[in-house]
Amino acid sequence: MLLLTNAKILTFDENMTIIEDGAIFIENGTIKDIGNTEELEMKYPDAVFKNVKNKIVMPGLINTHTHLYSTFARGMDLKDKPPSNFVEILKKLWWRLDNTLNEKDIYYSALFAICECIRNGVTTIFDHHASYNYIDGSLDIIADAVKRCGIRANLSYEISDRHGKEKSQAAIKENERFIRKVQLIKNSHLKGLIGLHASFTLEDETLKTVSELSQELNIPIHVHVAEGIQDYQDSVKRGYNGVIDRLNRFNILNPGSLLVHGVHIQKEEIDALKRSGSYLIHNPESNMNNAVGASPIKSFIENNIVTGLGTDAYTHDMFESIKMANLLYKHESKDPRVGWNEVYDMAFINNKKIASRFFDKKLGSIEKGLPADLIVVDYSSPTPIEKENVFAHILFGMNGSMVQTVLVDGKILMDNREVTFLDYEQLRRKTQKQARDFWKRF
């Protein structure tokens, strides 16, 4: 039994309730009671009291698209001329990287990245993995890192024909094997989706096979969609109206599928996207970094397409992604009035909806009966924090480095900026050593 006391609680419930001098009573991983500190201290005298000293307590953040395998890319020499467009970025960096990863690389890349998520207040992630030098069992390696760290993670393997049919078939089998495994063990922290890279690296036969597997397992797809203009152009060359049209013809766009990026989705495809019941995941920083353009977020929102927010592993700090999504929306719209409600909905309503669907329990809120996935943020505001201005404080005041304490299912994963389940400095040293070995092989 744990009692967090003396907190300013931002519940992110339907009414955006704020509790001053609040306390949260946690038992068996669940929020059992919320209220005034003095009252709950008297009500639960046998609990372990943890005084958070007037800091902010809010739900753990959710990242609906990331790549844990990308850790070793930071600071790496490509040993080649700098890529000048999106396809060159894929060929010179990411496809070489994923074709170099070995078992040890996968583990340390994932373990360190998950720790970075925790250190930035992210408690739930949707990961999209590729390691074409090591396919079979690769998702189990990541799952081991997830279990060690204690977060919630939905994992998928990125199926692609770019390395040939034999490897794409192995990738399909890896998704199927892992999904059947997690369905059997029913771990509330570990789930799976069927991963696809992007339409322009997939043949029709592969899409047909994946569609049949999706229906058999009753599991949606996690796929990159129209990130670069080349994806759209490839679909047109194959005789389709665009990426959405092609994927829709193969029943890839099912309710709950995660369509990532969507930068070059065409206006005439929006209606089909809306009817599909799929989710669109926006990754603003990655799109700008790759110079692929900006997603037509306004069109998605106007057509009631549920749009979530991810990072594409450009960062593990969702506060940073939230800020950039707001700025990009304003910049593209040339209107300083927009972005407020839209980005708030992406991060704190739609991400919650998406995660809650796949983890079979409501996440992203502080309410009685919900999992105790909480973060304590050391944010000292010069102005009042009220329900009408919470998002403004997040945009202009908070960042991931302010996160002091992180709990998932009531278990403390980080306290006073120190992760509790491993020696972080030792992990950093081991990861750097592994990175140097990886760079030699790259």
Domains of the chain, with CATH numbers? 2-60+371-419 (2.30.40.10), 68-359 (3.20.20.140)
According to the model, what pLDDT value does residue 186 have?
86
* Amino acid present at 261: H
Alpha helices in 138-253 (DSSP H): 138-149, 165-185, 204-217, 229-237, 243-249
| Of 410, 371, 321, nearest in space to 120 by CA | 321
According to the model, what pLDDT value does residue 211 have?
98
Distance CA 130, CA 114 (A): 16
Q: Find out whether 307 and 265 touch, Cβ atoms under 8 Å.
A: no
Low-confidence ranges of the chain (pLDDT < 70): none
| Percent of the chain as helix, strand, coil, to the nearest 5 | 45, 20, 35
Q: What residue has token string 């839209």? A: 342
Burial of 75 (0-12, 13-18, 19+ CB in 10 A): exposed
Q: What does the block give as tokens for 261?
A: 């990026």
In degrees, to the nearest 5, what angle opens at C-alpha 394 toward C-alphas 389 and 399? Answer: 165
Q: What does the block give as tokens for 417?
A: 């900026």
The predicted-structure confidence for 153-206, as pLDDT tens digits, reads as follows 999 999 999 999 999 999 999 999 999 999 999 899 999 999 999 999 999 999
Q: How many distinct helices (H) and strands (E) make up the chain?
A: 17, 18
Q: What is the pTM of this model?
A: 0.97
- Cα dihedral 384, 385, 390, 394 in deg (nearest 10): 80
Q: Find out whether 194 and 160 touch, Cβ atoms under 8 Å.
A: no
| Of 219, 240, 239, 233, nearest in space to 263 by CA | 233
Would you tell me how many other CB atoms lie within 10 Å of the CB of residue 392? 14
Q: How many residues does the chain have?
A: 442
What is the maximal distance between C-alpha atoms in the chain? 70
According to the model, what pLDDT value does residue 45 have?
96
CA distances, 224 to each of 13, 30, 98, 145, 265 (Å): 31, 35, 16, 24, 12
The predicted-structure confidence for 285-336, as pLDDT tens digits, reads as follows 999 999 999 999 999 999 999 999 999 999 999 999 999 999 999 999 999 9
Distance CA 385, CA 379 (A): 11
